[in-house]
Amino acid sequence: MSAPPALAFSTDNCTIGRAMDVLGERWTFVVLREVFNGIRRFEDMRRHTGIPRQVLTNRLAVLVGQDVLRREAYREPGQRERHEYRLTEKGFALFPVMVAIAEWGDRYLADPEGPPIEFVHRDCDAPVEIHVRCARDHEVAEPRAILGRPGPGVRPAATA
């Protein structure tokens, strides 16, 4: 059996690896789910999700530091200044990923009654689905029809 061609290329600058450095921690998409659903305040997130305080603090710091979320100050009467967390453009760009994760979870992990949340188009109330399309607008329904190949930033693998 011959070696896969991908072994000839370095993974040092892999954008999937870099994305997972930001997004791959267990609680990241739970935090993003909360913000996408309008839960923007620390204590509300903590109570709603059960995320330990320090873990939530760390996740929010990473997401703010990576410009996925931004902090916005608010002050309740008689209280100290606190912050809400709002999506940036970079954060909103993750919504299709959130929908894709939900579709996968709905298909393989939902309770017998069905999924706990549905994503629908605000204008017509139809369910939202993720579709993969090529740049020539062909729908790619079968994952095996997609090929990974070296891109413009590819680097050769270090030789042993």
Rounded to two decimals, the pTM is 0.87
Q: What is the pLDDT of residue 89?
A: 98
pLDDT at 160 exceeding the cut of 80: no
Q: What is the pLDDT of residue 6?
A: 87
The one-letter amino acid at 104: W
Q: How far is CA 74 from each of CA 92, 100, 130, rounded to the nearest angstrom?
A: 22, 33, 35
Mean pLDDT of 129-136: 95
For residue range 35-74, list pLDDT tens digits in order.
999 999 999 999 999 999 999 999 999 999 999 999 999 9
Nearest by Cα to 157 from 16, 7, 13: 7
Mean pLDDT of 120-143: 95
Share of the chain above pLDDT 90, in %: 89
Mean confidence (pLDDT) of the chain: 94
Would you mind telling me the total number of residues written for the chain in this entry? 160
For residue range 3-18, list pLDDT tens digits in order.
888 889 998 999 999 9
Take residue 105 and report the two structure tokens written for it.
């979870």
- Note the CATH architecture for domain 5-145: Orthogonal Bundle (1.10)
Quote the CA–CA distance of 15 and 23 in Å, as a whole number. 12
